[in-house]
Amino acid sequence: MSATTLSLGRPSPIAAIPGFRLTLGITLAWLGGVVLIPLAALALRPWELGLGGVLAVLADARVLAALQLSFGAAAMAALLDLPLGLLLAWVIVRLRFPGRSALDAALDLPFALPTAVAGIALTALTAPNGWLGAPLEAMFGWKIAFTQAGIVFALMFTGLPFIVRTVEPVLRDMARDAEEAAATLGASRMQTLGRVVLPALLPALLTGFSLAFARSVGEYGSVIFIAGNLPMLTEIAPLLIVVKLEQFDYAGAAVVGMAMLLLSFALLFGINQVQQLLRRGRA
């Protein structure tokens, strides 16, 4: 039997697809040119400093503070977006009300809006004399703009659509039989939500969280205006990379970029493993 046939005598999937090898080659070449080669350059450039130089850059207090702020703020924003994104997805899918289409369209604005424009608008809104910042500071003493809270607020704005658009199709395709059965057995709406709906949506919520986190951790335009950009306090890692590039410290900028790449990959890999465990548990 030839290598292109299976043990049952049927053609293999590879042989059944016309032009499989050609399209695979083009795909891999395109992937290598667009993704792998730039990542390889990012991985090789820091070693111009040697191992000691790389470790010295990573041990710098300013670099550590920027990395901690970027990853911490991105994780916090994604976590805060989870309940809000779930609520918005539920409202769009399950409810019918005037203005629903407008709300659905408005959720995609962070995708289309230039991040710098979003940053300026959020800063004007939350500044001490802004429409939102002034009453919050007067009533509660809260300051949003030019603080770490402002960074989280901006990242929530950019990351929210990822969670909504990830949960929405899963919620739309979810059959209501289990919810109706739970109601028939006397379960309350909260019990149905916690024991029937949320477990089914958990993989989608984790996917939305990972997408929002990945989008937020490297965010630059919507953050630099609202952050204040004070070293050791409100300076994010992408801004520190730009600062190093402006100082012609290309290897140092590559070290920070490589650290962000490795940390992001490790976190996303961990989330992916959790998703696979959840799928196996449901199978």
Question: Per-residue confidence of the chain (283 residues) as pLDDT tens digits?
Answer: 444 444 455 555 555 566 777 888 888 888 777 877 877 878 888 888 888 999 999 999 999 999 999 999 999 999 999 999 999 999 998 888 898 889 888 888 888 888 889 899 999 999 988 888 889 888 888 889 999 999 999 999 999 999 999 999 988 888 777 777 777 877 777 877 777 788 888 888 999 999 999 999 989 988 999 998 889 999 999 999 999 999 999 999 999 999 998 998 898 888 888 878 877 766 6
Give the pLDDT of residue 75: 95
pLDDT of residue 95: 86
> Where do the domains of the chain lie, and which CATH numbers do they carry?
51-282 (1.10.3720.10)
pLDDT at 181: 78
The token pair at 16 is: 């059944």
pLDDT at residue 196, as a whole number: 78
pTM: 0.83
Q: How far apart are the C-alpha atoms of 62 and 236, rounded to whole Å?
A: 10
Biggest CA–CA distance in the chain, Å, is 81
pLDDT value, residue 17: 64
Distance, CA of 216 to CA of 211 (rounded, Å): 9
pLDDT, residue 16, reads 56
* pLDDT number for residue 6: 46
Residue closest to 48 by CA, chosen among 242, 255, 243, 259: 255
pLDDT for the residue numbered 1: 46
Amino acid found at 76: M
Residue 164, class by beta-carbon neighbours within 10 Å (0-12 exposed, 13-18 middle, 19+ buried)?
A: buried
DSSP track, the chain: --TTB-TTSPBPHHHHSTTHHHHHHHHHHHHIIIIIHHHHHHHHGGGGGHHHHHHHHHH-HHHHHHHHHHHHHHHHHHHHHHHHHHHHHHHHHH---TTHHHHHHHTTHHHHS-HHHHHHHHHHHHSTTSTTHHHHHHHH----TTSHHHHHHHHHHHHHHHHHHHHHHHHHH--SHHHHHHHHTT--HHHHIIIIIHHHHHHHHHHHHHHHHHHHHT--HHHHHHH---TTTT--HHHHHHHHHHTT-HHHHHHHHHHHHHHHHHHHHHHHHHHHHHHHHH-
Q: How many residues does the chain have?
A: 283
